[in-house]
Every structure is written in structure tokens, then in C-alpha cells.
Structure 1
Amino acid sequence: MQALSLWAVALLLVAGSLAAVEAGVILGRRQARRHAAGAAESPAKSNVEGYIISSIFGLLAFLVGFTFSMSLSRYDDRRSWIAQEATAISTVYLRAELLDEPYRSRLRSLLRDYARSRLAPDNITSAEIETGILQTERIRNQLWDETRTAIYPDRRSDLASYFVEAMNNALDIGTRRALAGRAHVPTQIVAILLVYLLVAAIMLGYLMAKEGTTRRHESTLLILMFVASINLILDLDRPREGLIRVSQRPLEELIASMNADAAKESVTERPTKPPTADEHEA
């Protein structure tokens, strides 16, 4: 299902569920014809069947709610890690200003590149994702090598300790965010949910046929509501596609601030033009 778009998954679920309802209707009609010559069904038996269908869809609703809670928790984790990573990178960037040149400029430039690499664009291909991961790993190694070179002569100072701690924290949070981005609702749970949806649809058609009514509109609406809920779960479980996206705004604002700071530094450090002879005489 990960290879299919959410719209394709929704259409498949609707088609499969409605087909399951029709299969249940066919089974129910066959069962009704077999007992047509027998005694009429008692009201007590009809009530039992009503309890059965209510219990089936009640349990299906519970499974949908349970799975929705899991996917929403993972969505909140991904959103939280983005904010934490932006804060951690900002802390390192500010502390790098206390270092001597040329380490200050090198580290701050690498941190700007690292922050850009941590943006997660929407609707990118698997090849682009792998390329981004390799780029991030390369910058991470460069950051650590540059940190070690800058700090080693004064490694026993408080500044060295604070800077290394902040750098470690930023890189660790990046790793945890990457792991959170790969955390999905277990496949077994999603599979059980889909199988149970089909079983419930079959039972719905079966019991409606035995009651002598199909109620197409009501049953279709019920199926659509459950499919919409399951599709919402799958949407939350896919961070880079669908209607629900994890906002990249904390990182985007950090990158904008870094770029403005870099532009300010370039203007400050730009060499002034030597005065001409006429200006000197004036």
C-alpha cells in the first residue's frame, strides 16, 4: 500500500468494501431461499442478529480509533522533533559565534548547509530522499571534524564543553527525527483493520439480505465513513504526501534568519574601495 497514492488506496477500499457488501447480500439471499419454506423468523432471532452487527461495527470503530491514536501520536512526534531540531541548530549557530576565525565562519557556513539539508520537501521520490540522506551524513561528518579541529586546542575550557554539548545535541536530535520519520503504524495492525473492514462489510450485506432489505444508500454511506477514517489514518502515517503535512516552518524560519545573518556578515566584511587621488586631496 505504501507504493500507492492515498486516492488509489481510498478507491480500492471503497470498491473492495462495496464488493464485500454485495457478496454478503448474495450469501444472505441464498440462505433466505433455503429457509423460505420453513417457519418465519422469530423476533428474538432478529434482535440477536441486530446485536451481532452492532457489535461487529462497534469493534471495527474501536480498532479504527486505536489505530488513529497511534498514527496521530507519530505525527505529533515528527512535528515536535522539527521544532526541537531547529532550536538545537540555532543554539549551536549562536555559540559558534564565540569561536575564533577561521573556525567561526567555517562552522556557521556548515550549519547553514546542514539546516537546509534537514528540510523535508513534499512529494519527493525515493531517489531524492536517499540523495538527501547522503548529503546530510556528509555535512554531519564535516561538522564533527570541524568541531574537533576548532575545540581541540582549548578542549578543557568551558566554551569547548558548552559548544561540544550543543553540537552533540543537534546531531542527536537530527538522528532521532530521522528515526521518527521512518516510524509507521505496524503493517500487521493496518492489515487486520482492513481485513476486519471487509468482514464487517460482508456481515452487513448478509444480515440486510436476510432482513429482506438492502438499504443501498445507508450501507454505502456507512462504508464511505469507515473508509474515510482509515484513509485519514494512512494520511497521518505518510509524512511527505497526502493532505496532512508536517509543517517545516521552524526550520524555514531558522534558515531565513541564518541567510539574513550571512548577508549581514558579507556586507560588514566587504573590503572598502580605496579612495581616489581626487578624493584624497579633497
Structure 2
Amino acid sequence: MDWFAELIDRMNFWVVTLVLLVSLVAAREFGGWLHRRLEGNKDDCAEDGVDKQFVITGTLGLLALLIAFTFSLSLHRYEERRMTVVAEANAIGTAEMRVRLLNPPDNARMAALLQAYARARLAYGLADSAEKRALAAKSASLRSEIQAAALAALAPESRTPLGITVTPSINAVLDIGAEREALNTARVPGAILFCLFSFNLLSAAMLGYALTGTRARQRPATIALFLLLTMALMLILDLDAPQRGMIKVDQSPMLQLVDGFAPLPQANLQ
């Protein structure tokens, strides 16, 4: 079902909203047409009304549970992305401070690499979905440079307290960068999204089928319900796609880090 998630990703956010709302209304009309086709256009008796009310209540209750589950999953992923930005900014800041303790010119070279990496990570966080892949590749290249430079600079200090202090901070920068990119690509599984959208359409069709006898009176109420369902689904999709919709992951920690960097050490300091 990954094709379904990819299809939604390729579509404009507002187009998805409009298509979903129109589809819900169409599903309700199809349910009403099916009821008239099978049972005619007569009003339901009291007993049938109670039975249909029971079915509608159960269906909408199950739909609410499914939406709540998916919303919780999306919100948890969003919170993880937000906290990872804070953790990465802290990791880069710590590493950039510690490499300044190295001997020249390694201190200046390592600090410059980490500052360039921080700016690349800020650009990655601010970019939309279409630009993230290229910026992720740039970040991976910088991580390779940082790793190679750290190995060269720390080789003489590997068994000293300085080496033991600096090495874990560099390793944390490398690890959390890859973790953050993995979190940004992690999405609600396509199978869950497909089931959620399908269940919404089936619920709308069931509403149309059950409310056929009083459909004219219930039309404004069902449209209001469909608007609420559409808003809930769009909120889930917005939370699940960082930097795509209206809800964006706050990049303030990384911005404050970049703005607060101290001048680089003098490479020729003896």
C-alpha cells in the first residue's frame, strides 16, 4: 500500500482536501441511491430507524477510534522530529565547542566543518519535501568529511583525556544526523492511510443508505460531519509530512546555534 502514501505525497495538499470532501459527499449520495434502488424511497418504520441508528452509531464510533489512533501516531512522529532538532543542535554545539580544544590547525578545521554542517542542517530543516533529498545528500557528504577529519585529528589523542572527551561528541553528531533524516522519511504506513480513507468513504455511504428516508433534512448535518472528518484527516496528513503543509517543525534551536557560533580559532595559533 506504499503507492497510496506516495500518491498523496505527489498531490497538492489542498487538492487532497477537496478530493476527499467531494468523495465523501459522492459516497453519501451513492449510499442513498443504493437504498432507493433496493428498497424504494419510502420512509423507514420505527423499528428500522432504531436498527439503522445502532449501525450508524457503531460505524461512527469505530471511525472515531481509527482516526484517534492515526492522529496519535502522527503526533508522536511530529514530536519526535521536534525533539530531534533540539538534540541535534545540542550535539553540534557541544562538539563544536570541544574540538576547539584540539591543537592548531585541527581545531580551526574541525570547528569550520561543524559550523558548515550546522548551516546545512538548518537548510535541511527549513526546506520543503522536494528539496530535502538533495540537502540530505549534502549533509551525508559533510558527515563523511567530519568523520575523516576527526579520525586524522584525534589519532594522536586517542588515549588521552582530550580524545576521550571529543570523540563521543563527534560520534553523537554523526549518529543523530542520520536518525533525524530517518525520522523525516518515516511516515504513517500507506496501508493505514488507505484503510482510514476507505473507512471514511464506506461510513459516508452507510450514512447515505441509512438516512435516505429523511435525506433532505439530514444533508446539512452530514456535510458538516464530512467537513469535520476532512479537517481531521488533513491534520493527520499535515502532522505526518514535515515542512509540507501548515504545521512545520520548529527550527529555532538550530537557528540559534548557527547565529551564536563564536569566531573560528586562528589556524596559525602556536
Q: Distance in 1 between matches of 2:243 and 2:215?
A: 47
Distance in 2, Cα, partners of 1:108 & 1:31: 75
- Matched residue, 1:152: 155
TM-score, normalization by structure 1: 0.87
- What TM-score do the two structures reach when normalised by structure 2? 0.91
Structure 2 counterpart of 1:107, from 106, 110, 113: 110
Kept after mapping to 1: 8 A contact 2:129/2:243: no
Q: How does 1:226-265 map to 2 (within 5 A)?
A: 226-258=229-261, 261-262=262-263
**Which of 124, 128, 136 is equivalent to 1:124?**
128
Amino acid at match of 2:149: E
Measured in 2, the distance between the counterparts of 1:141 and 1:186 equals: 31
Task: Judge which range, 78-87 or 135-144, deviates more.
Answer: 135-144
Give per-residue Cα distances to partners, 1:176-204, cap 9 Å, x unaligned. Answer: 11111111101100100000000000111
Given that 1:28 and 1:210 are in contact with CA atoms closer than 8 Å, whether structure 2 keeps it comes out as: no
Q: What is the rounded CA distance, in whole Å, between the counterparts of 1:106 and 1:248 in structure 2? A: 26
Are the equivalent residues in 1 in contact too, given 2:126–2:251 (CA < 8 A)?
no
Give how far 1:229 is off.
Answer: 0.1
Task: Could you tell me which runs of 5 or more consecutive residues in structure 1 were left unpaired when the two chains were aligned.
Answer: 270-282
Q: CA 1:211 to 1:42, structure 2 compared with 1: closer, same or farther past 3 Å?
A: same
The SS at the match of 2:9 is coil
Give 5+ residue unaligned stretches, structure 2. 1-7
- Secondary structure at 1:244's aligned position in 2? coil
User: 2: distance between equivalents of 1:212 and 1:14?
Assistant: 18
Pairing of 1:73-222 with structure 2 (within 5 A): 73-119=76-122, 120-122=124-126, 124=128, 126=130, 128-211=131-214, 213-222=216-225
- 2:33 corresponds to which residue? 26
Cα–Cα, structure 1 residues 180 and 121, in superposed 2: closer, same or farther, change >3 Å?
closer
**8 Å contact from structure 2 (residues 118, 258) kept in 1:** yes
CA distance in structure 2 between the aligned counterparts of 1:235 and 1:195, rounded to whole angstroms:
19
Which residue pairs with 1:277 in the alignment? none
State whether residues 122 and 241 of structure 1, in contact with CA within 8 Å, keep that contact through their aligned partners in structure 2.
no
Any idea what SS the aligned residue of 2:260 has? helix
AA aligned to 1:225 is: L
Task: Tell whether 2:22 aligns with 1:4.
Answer: no
Q: CA deviation at 1:14?
A: 0.3
Which 4+ residue blocks in structure 1 deviate beyond 6 angstroms?
none
- Counterpart of 2:23, as a letter, is G
Tell me how far apart the structure 1 counterparts of residues 38 and 217 of structure 2 sit (CA, whole Å): 15
Task: Describe the superposition over 1:49-93 as per-residue Cα deviations: whole angstroms up to 9, x where unpaired.
Answer: 101011111111110000000000000000010000000111101
Distance 2:221 2:107 in 1: 67
Decide whether the 8 Å contact of 2:17 with 2:234 is kept in 1: yes
CA offsets 1:81-126 (integer angstroms, 9 cap, x no match): 0000000111101111111100000000000000011123545363
1:122–1:108 distance in 2 versus 1, CA, 3 Å:
closer
Distance 1:61 1:228 in 2: 13
- Letter in structure 2 aligned against 1:143: I
CA RMSD, Structure 1 to Structure 2 (Å): 1.8
Counterpart CA distance in 2 for 1:80 and 1:212 is 48
Hey, what's the Cα distance between the residues in 2 that align with 1:178 and 1:12? Answer: 30
Aligned residues with identical type, % of pairs: 32
The alpha-carbon distance between structure 1 residues 212 and 65, as it changes in their structure 2 partners (threshold 3 A), is closer
Q: How many residues align?
A: 259
| 8 Å contact kept, 1:31–1:210 | no
